[in-house]
A = this chain, B = another copy of it.
C-alpha cells in the first residue's frame, strides 16, 4: 500500500546519499543500494527505472523545494519591503541539506547535472538582471554575467560545504554579495561614466 511504498522509497533515497558520499556515484551498484536499504534488488526496479532516475528524482525534489522557497519571496506583498534576499535563502537551504548538496555539487555526479544546474541559475540571474538594467547599459553580455555569478555561486557553496568553512549562511550570503552584486553596480556606473565622459 501507500505507506509501505513511501517508506521504501525513503530508504532508497537515504541509502543512495550515504553511499554516494562514501564511495562515489559511478562506483555504486544497485545491489549495494538495496543491500543498504535492506531490500531485494528487484524491489528497486518497482520504484525506479535505474540508478540515475533515483538520483535525479532525489536531487530534483530538493531543487524544486529551493525554487519554491525563493519564488515565495517575490510574492507581491513581500517584494518591496526588504524581505530576505534569495542568496540568503539558498545558503540556508544548502546548510539544511548539507549531504544532498555535497552530492550534487561535489565531484561525484556526472557533470551534466552540474552544467544543467548552472545554466538554470544563470538564466534566473539573467532574468532578474533584465529587471534592473537594459542590456545596453551593461559592459559585458548579460548571459555572461549570468554564467559568472552562477559559476561563482556553485563554486563557493561547494567550497563552503567541502571545507566546512566556519561561516554562517548569512555571512556567506553577505560576502557573496560583495563579490558579485556590488561589483555589478560599480561596473555599470563606471561604464556609464566612461561613455559620457570622453
Which residues in A have some Cβ–Cβ distance to B below 8 Å? Answer: 24-26, 106-116, 118, 122, 139-141, 143-145, 147-156, 158-159, 163, 165, 175, 178-180, 182-183, 186-187
CA separation between A163 and B118, bound complex, in Å?
A: 14
A-B CB contact pairs (8 Å), 15 listed: A26-B26, A107-B111, A108-B111, A115-B158, A140-B175, A140-B178, A143-B165, A144-B156, A147-B152, A147-B155, A148-B152, A148-B179, A151-B154, A178-B187, A182-B187
Query: Which of B112, B122, B178, B182 is within 8 Å of A108, CB to CB?
Result: B112
A112-B107, A139-B178 as given contacts; A159 in contact with B183, CB under 8 Å: no
CA distance A175 to B143 in the complex (A): 12
Contacts of A152 in B (CB 8 A): 147-149, 151-152, 155
Residues of B contacting A140 in the complex (Cβ-Cβ under 8 angstroms): 175, 178-179
| Apart from the given pairs A110-B110, A139-B178, 12 other A-B contacts in the complex at a CB distance below 8 Å | A26-B110, A106-B112, A107-B110, A107-B114, A108-B110, A111-B111, A139-B175, A144-B175, A144-B179, A151-B155, A154-B155, A186-B186
